[in-house]
């Protein structure tokens, strides 16, 4: 972290997202001053301030303050307008994922983030997962050869799909958009943006009522030299992300990794750079905090208990404020995620027809 990071001050703008308390605590843990919090819902704001020990403030007051950066954790539909106001006030901005409620929102956010002098990060905190870092470090040594196929799985925790947070009226989708975006982001991180998407997104009779938007989805990402698949369910028995993982199949082996708990398994048929041919397993220490934390008074979902990814994310944000080279999730990556999800919904509405991302309106 920059030597001047202890002077960094941040403001919370919108706090109804369940990740807001984790990022607040990560900021405090890094030595940043959090000057206050605002939310349009007074009851939500009061509950949040009582939870984390900060003071309520007016939006204009926070934007006019000396805060170096603003953390936006509002409803999805308000994220871009709040980010725009913060940027206009000369602040750096970290916007909670997915960064908005619709493809149009993410296009607007990317436009804002591309302007000279703008510093905008989008809170895809899995970017900082040790398992992803380990997978990247292994793949840099080319142990599995050319990849023709990748497979990924994602899920929301059981019952989460019925929450208001995953069914906001202005959002372009439900759990696939708000939670599935996590693993889609990981796929983009490793594979890049696909050319087109084919998908089915289904409501299954007898599984859930009209209070949630979807039950299961299957997406195929089309690249010029490979395909990748992503399947997603809202009916998962894991606490949060235990079943979420990704496998890359190459002509010289394969690599599988999962985010929580952090784990990976590599098969290298020929071996490379000190790796003998055969299977290699890696697991992070099992002495880790649960992802799910205490019940929240400011969101209908539980707080986050394991702040490992958030701590790393906030450190990068603070370093970037003080001039360090960017390493975080940019608005371009967040836009790519939105393009994929929007293409999936359009493809599903057209019985699985391929949708080219560059042709989306």
CATH (domain of 41): 3.40.50.720
Q: How do residues 325-350 score in pLDDT, each as one tens digit?
A: 989 999 999 999 999 999 999 999 99
| CA–CA gap between residue 180 and residue 33 (Å, rounded) | 32
Compute the distance between CA of residue 81 and CA of residue 305 in angstroms, rounded to an integer.
Answer: 29
- Cα separation, 15 vs 79, in Å, equals 11
pLDDT of residue 4: 42
**Residues 298 and 149 reside in one and the same domain:** yes
Helices vs. strands in the chain: H and E counts, helices first: 10, 14
Residues 290 and 323 in one domain: no
Shared domain for 119 and 203, answered yes or no, is no
Let me know whether 137 and 267 are in one domain. Answer: yes
User: Is-contact 316 88, C-beta < 8 A?
Assistant: no
Q: Which of 146, 223, 152, 148 is nearest to 192 (CA)?
A: 223
Considering the domain architecture, whether residues 253 and 242 belong to the same structural domain is answered as yes
pTM of model > 0.85: yes
> Cα–Cα distance between 135 and 130 in angstroms, integer?
9
Q: Average pLDDT of 237-246?
A: 83
Among 174, 229, 234, smallest CA distance to 204 is for: 234
Tell me: do 144 and 219 sit in the same domain: yes
With a CB cutoff of 8 Å and minimum separation 6, the contacts of 47 are 296, 297, 298
* Segments forming the whole domain that contains residue 187: 128-302+338-359
DSSP 8-state secondary structure symbol assigned to residue 56: B
pLDDT at 3 over 80: no
The answer to whether residues 209 and 324 belong to one domain is no
Contact between 347 and 355 under an 8 Å Cβ cutoff? The reply is yes
pLDDT band at residue 300 under the 50/70/90 scheme? low
Residues 279, 182 within the same domain? yes
State the Cα–Cα distance between residues 198 and 120, nearest whole angstrom: 30
Domain count across the chain: 2
Please check whether residues 99 and 153 belong to one and the same domain. no
Distance of CA 6 to CAs 27, 118, 170, Å?
A: 10, 22, 38
Q: Within this chain, do residues 97 and 138 fall inside the same structural domain, yes or no?
A: no
Q: Which among 66, 104, 69 is positioned nearest to 87, based on CA atoms? A: 69
State the chain's mean pLDDT as an integer.
91
Same domain flag for 213 and 346: yes
Whether residues 141 and 91 share a domain: the answer is no
Q: Kindly report the number of other CB atoms within 10 A of residue 270's CB atom.
A: 12
Average pLDDT estimate for 248-258: 97
Q: Kindly report the CATH number assigned to the domain that includes residue 160.
A: 3.30.360.10
């Amino acid at each position: 972290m920059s030597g001047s990071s202890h002077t960094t001050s941040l403001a919370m703008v919108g706090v109804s997202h369940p990740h807001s308390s984790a990022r607040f605590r990560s900021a405090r843990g890094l030595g940043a001053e959090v000057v206050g919090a605002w939310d349009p819902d007074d009851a939500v704001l009061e509950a949040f301030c009582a939870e984390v020990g900060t003071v309520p403030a007016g939006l204009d007051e926070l934007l006019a303050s000396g805060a170096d950066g603003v953390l936006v954790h509002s409803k999805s539909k308000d994220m871009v307008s709040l980010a725009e106001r913060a940027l206009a006030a000369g602040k750096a901005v970290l916007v909670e994922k997915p960064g908005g409620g619709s493809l149009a929102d993410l296009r607007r956010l990317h436009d804002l983030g591309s302007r000279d002098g703008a510093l905008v990060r989008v809170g895809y905190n899995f970017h900082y997962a040790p398992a992803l870092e380990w997978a990247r470090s292994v793949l840099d040594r080319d142990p599995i050869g050319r990849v023709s196929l990748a497979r990924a799985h994602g899920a929301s925790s059981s019952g989460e799909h019925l929450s208001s947070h995953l069914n906001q009226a202005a959002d372009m989708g439900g759990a696939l958009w708000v939670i599935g975006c996590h693993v889609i982001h990981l796929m983009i991180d490793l594979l890049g943006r696909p050319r087109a998407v084919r998908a089915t997104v289904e409501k299954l009779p007898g599984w859930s009522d009209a209070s949630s938007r979807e039950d299961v989805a299957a997406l195929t990402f089309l690249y010029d030299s490979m395909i990748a698949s992503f399947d997603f369910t809202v009916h998962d028995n894991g606490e949060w992300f235990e079943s979420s993982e990704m496998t890359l199949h190459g002509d010289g082996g394969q690599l599988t990794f999962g985010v929580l708990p952090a784990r990976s398994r590599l098969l290298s048929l020929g071996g490379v750079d000190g790796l003998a041919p055969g299977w290699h397993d890696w697991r992070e220490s099992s002495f880790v905090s649960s992802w799910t934390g205490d019940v929240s008074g400011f969101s209908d979902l539980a707080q986050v208990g394991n702040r490992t990814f958030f701590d790393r994310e906030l450190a990068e944000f603070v370093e970037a404020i003080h001039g360090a080279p960017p390493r975080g999730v940019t608005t371009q990556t967040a836009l790519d995620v939105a393009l994929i999800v929007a293409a999936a919904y359009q493809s599903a509405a057209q019985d699985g027809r391929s949708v080219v991302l560059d042709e989306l309106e």
